[in-house]
Amino acid sequence: VGSEWPVLRLLSPEGTTKRPSPVPVQRTKGTGTNESQLKPSLDALQAGGVAWWSSRGYETKRLLPLAPIDIEGILDCVPNKTSCGGDNRDAAYFSDPVAYFTLPNDASAFLLVVGVNHNVTGKATYGNVVVETAPKDKGVFNMTCNGLVGVDSRSFGGTALPFTAKDHDKLYAVHVSRSCAELKEKASPDADVHCLQVDCGPLTPNCNSLRVVTRAYLEVATTTGPAYNELVWPRVVEFTTQSHAAS
């Protein structure tokens, strides 16, 4: 009634033989085909982004290659009777467990996330880029929730073109800033850069500890997450102005 929900606990009769469901058989990941031919193109995109922003007064503070998050043992929670909360095998997850970023509330520093659009290569059906606070329960910023500047795999197209022409339709380049309007103004009129606005507030107080995560969901051929060794891994470039670096 109202906001109250009944909780029912169902018990089997005493003496009934327990028949727990077995752990599901895990689908095999990987098809034998990979994206290695796109690594030089991603290298060119990264170099192009660094050169483009360098010509506008920014310098590279840090280059962070993202690495796989190991979730292969996620279902061990079933036989071990432990918490099953967390990610699952339907996706490939990339991040860095110890690298965090601090962004000022202007465009004097920002992040550029570059990677392969795995949907175009057939290695995924959907992908996105997420910026989380640490600890994660303090708030999550998700590009797919920001209609004006949000970028997921349905709209990665064209985001790499300002920085490279080579395979730009198979790549993405997304900026992360606490002042996207100012960053877009600095890029104009040469390019309309795609930018995720990170707004800090009562629910997201830890904007001095931001983490980037990318995901690639469900390879069509295997109906499970793609194999890490068949993907080209994404990267994050942290930019700053000389004045901000000195402060």
pTM of model > 0.85: no
When pLDDT is cut at 50, 70 and 90, the band that residue 26 belongs to is: confident
Q: What confidence score (pLDDT) does residue 84 get?
A: 67
Q: What is the 3-state secondary structure (H, E, C) of the chain?
A: CCCCCCCCCCCCCCCCCCCCCCCCCCCCCCCCCCCHHHHHHHHHHHHHHHHHHHCCCEEEEEEEECEECCCCCHHHHHHHCCCCCCCCCCEEEEECCCCCECCCCCCCEEEEEEEECHHHHCCCCEEEEEEEECCHHHCEEEHHHCCCCCCECCCCCCCCCCCCCCCHHHEEEEEEECCHHHHHHHHCCCCCCCEEECCCECCECCCCCEEEEEEEECECCCCECCCHHHCCCCEEEEEEEHHHHHC
pLDDT confidence bin for 39, thresholds 50/70/90:
very high
All structural domains of the chain with their residue ranges: 36-246
| pLDDT tens digit sequence for 91-146 | 999 998 788 888 898 999 999 999 999 999 999 999 999 887 765 544 444 434 43
The residue with greater pLDDT, 244 or 152, is 152
pLDDT, average across residues 147-154: 56
